[in-house]
Every structure is written in C-alpha cells, then in structure tokens.
Amino acid sequence: MKRVSTIGLDREAYFSEHWHTREQEKVFSNNWSFAGILGDVRNNGDYICTNVGRNPLFVIRDEHGVLRAFHNICRHRGTVMLRGKGNIANGIQCGYHCWRYELNGELRSIPQQTKQFSLVDKSKLSLHPATIEVFRGMIFIHPHPTEAPDFDQWLGQFEEHLGPYDLTELEEVHSIRHPLKANWKLFIENHIESYHLWYAHKNSILGLNHEDQVNYYYNGHWSFFQPTLVPGKMAEFEKYIPSQIIAASEKWYGSGDHLLYPNLGVVSGAKFIAILRAIPLTPTTSEIEIRVFGKPLGIDEADPGVYYEAAGSSEEFSVNMEDIDLCELVQEGMLSEYGGVGALARDYEQSIKHFHEKYLSEMSS
C-alpha cells in the first residue's frame, strides 16, 4: 500500500475500527459531554438519554425537582432501560424483568423477591450515578461519579468568549438531525477552520468580515469571532432565522463560533444561538444534531433585522448542508491511499492543529 506523507492525524483515524473503539474510551469517556438543555427536563419525571463513549446515560428530574444523571443500565442483568426522552413520574422500570427504581436511583422493587432474591439487599443495587453540571441552561454529564474533571476548570474561558447568551431565557426555534456519511472529526475540523468561509460559503454567509477574525485556544476548546462587514447590519443569512434580536448590543452582531472539546459546536449571532453536536455512530458515519434558540416573533410582529445585502446571495439557509456535503467528500478522499492532509493554512486552519494535538494526547494516554 502506498504511504502518502500527511500531517496531523493519520488518515486511518477517519475510518479505522481500532481508532473508533479507542476514542470512545480515551476521548469521550474522559470528557464532559453535552446531554441537552434544561427545557428538555422541565417537569418532574422528565428524562433524556444519551451515550458518552460506550456508556449509555440518562438525565432525569426527580420528584423533588432535583436534576440527576445515571448510567442507563439495570443492576439486574445490565439491560439498557430507557430510550430517547419522555416522562416517567411513577418510577424507572426495566422492560426485561420489571425491576423498578425510584427517580433518585434507589431500587424500589424486585418481582418475586421473597422466593428468588431473598438474600439480595436492594440498598446495594441502586443505579450507578454519573456527574452532572449545568451552564446557562446547557446540561453536561460525565460518566464517572467521583473522578470527573472540575467542570469550571474544564470550561475554561468559554463563558467569557460566548458573550451574553443564556438558553434559560430563550426558546427553541428550529431543530434537525442530519445523517453524515463521514467520521465525526471531519465535521469538527470543518466547524473550527475559517479558510473555507471565503469559498464554500461565498453566497451563504454574506455580510461577515472573515479577515477581521480572532481565535482563542484553551483546554482543547476553541473560540472564534468575526464581526459584520457593515456595523449595525446583520449577516444576510440571519433573515432566515425566525427570531427577535437577542444580542445584547451590536458588538455581538457578527458570528461567534466555538468548540467545546471534543464534539460540541456552539454558534451565535444577532438573533440566535445554535448548538451543533457531532455524534459518532461508526468509524465512517455520524449524526449531526442542530438546535437553534432565539425569541420567536409574535404573530403580527415584524422582523426587526437590518441585513447586509449583496448580489448572488443564497435564497435559503444552506450553510449546514454545504458543510455536510464537504465533509462527506473529504471522507471519500480519506479512504484512498493517496488521502491525507498535506498542509494547513498558517492562520485560518491552525485550529485543526490544536484539535489534533489535544486528540492525540488523549488517545496516547
């Protein structure tokens, strides 16, 4: 097989089962992961499920309103109990043998306990807890109950760079899940590099000043901001977002883009904040979850935005599909023995270098 010189990650990192299995343990299981928002678990008994590495977990609001996280595994035979999201105010029940748990994780009942499990101490078979933290309405979990990294230290400078956006004050105005025929890392690499903005999105994100950008690197995370071309005028694509203006001032009218390592993108503008989660499924397939938050316009309320205008702009919001198409093309190239990264732009792709360094440091630990 021909070996082509490449920088950063070996191309096998994008299609190898070995890399995929190892990163579930070394990367995802050792970092905080986004699980959902407070609005997903608003009522007692509401729950949401997610996977962190090889760990199926769920977040639930108990009967006292306390937010908790547990491993989604029955203590009897290890069965995954819950799927998706919903409400189970009457308790958590495993569908295999109907073992039931309280919303605080304690084992409530075992069918036929007197005859079949007379020596079992239910107090020792509570659900395994996970660690949970909340930041501005975003829920983060870690599979380890006592050894999770300090959340504030892990978050680092994100609060400073995010700006005045808080999901507890906003409503979800759009959500979608896109299948991606590519490794999750390719979506993240696309998200964090700005070199392609001039070309791949030349008609879809008009009104942003790509040259006047700033980048910040911290704890494996990345934050980026680019202002608008014309002060007071929003980027042209924001007219497709059904929301009032939520930015505290025109200072935030540009585009704020962030990566919370390893796989959560956050994007903000004058009228929205969006969460983009790259969920690995197999070495070569992923799912991209996109949730957009703002303040919906009233029935008779006019759009208050003033937008940048230029000839040739897209007639719909097409950025996400443009990025997905590009990632799938890169994935196809990586499968070739001639694939790989030959060079990175000095300024506009250095974020990929930082991402690779963080990823490789964890994979080799």
Cis peptide before 262 (omega within 30 of 0): yes
User: Which regions of the chain does DSSP assign to beta strands (E)?
Assistant: 33-37, 46-52, 55-61, 67-71, 85-87, 92-93, 100-101, 107-109, 131-135, 138-142, 171-180, 214-218, 221-226, 255-260, 264-268, 273-282, 285-294
The stretch 100-115 carries a mean pLDDT of: 98
Number of H helices, E strands in the chain: 7, 17
pLDDT tens-place string over residues 224-268: 999 999 998 999 999 889 899 999 999 999 999 999 999 999 999
Prediction pTM value: 0.95
- C-alpha–C-alpha distance, residues 179 and 321, integer Å: 11
pLDDT tens-place string over residues 5-58: 578 899 999 999 999 999 999 999 999 999 999 999 999 999 999 999 999 999
* Least confident range of 83-87, 200-204, 267-271, 300-304: 300-304
Task: Kindly tell me the sign of the dihedral angle through the C-alpha atoms of 295, 35, 50, 325.
Answer: positive
* Least confident range of 90-99, 265-274, 301-310, 342-351: 301-310
Tell me which DSSP letter residue 302 carries. Answer: P
Mean pLDDT over the full length of the chain: 95
- C-alpha–C-alpha distance, residues 157 and 153, integer Å: 9
The pLDDT, as a whole number, for residue 279 is: 98
Q: What CATH code is assigned to 160-363?
A: 3.90.380.10
Tell me which DSSP letter residue 282 carries. Answer: E
Cβ contact 176:290 at 8 Å: yes
pLDDT tens-place string over residues 135-192: 999 999 999 999 999 999 999 999 999 999 999 999 999 999 999 999 999 999 999 9
**C-alpha 284 chain-centroid distance:** 18
Q: Can you give the residue ranges of every domain in the chain?
A: 32-148, 160-363
Q: Coil, strand, or helix at residue 266? A: strand
**C-alpha 75 chain-centroid distance:** 29
The pLDDT, as a whole number, for residue 1 is: 45
Cβ contact 228:308 at 8 Å: yes
Distances (CA, A) of 147 to 12, 28, 158, 260: 31, 14, 22, 20
Structure tokens at 162: 């995010």
The label of the residue with tokens 């996400």 reads 320
pLDDT tens-place string over residues 267-292: 999 999 999 999 999 999 999 999 99
Q: Coil, strand, or helix at residue 240? A: helix
Q: What is the CA radius of gyration of the chain?
A: 22
**CB-based contacts of 251, cutoff 8 Å, min separation 6:** none
Which fold does the domain 32-148 belong to in CATH?
Rieske Iron-sulfur Protein (2.102.10)
Cβ contact 282:270 at 8 Å: no
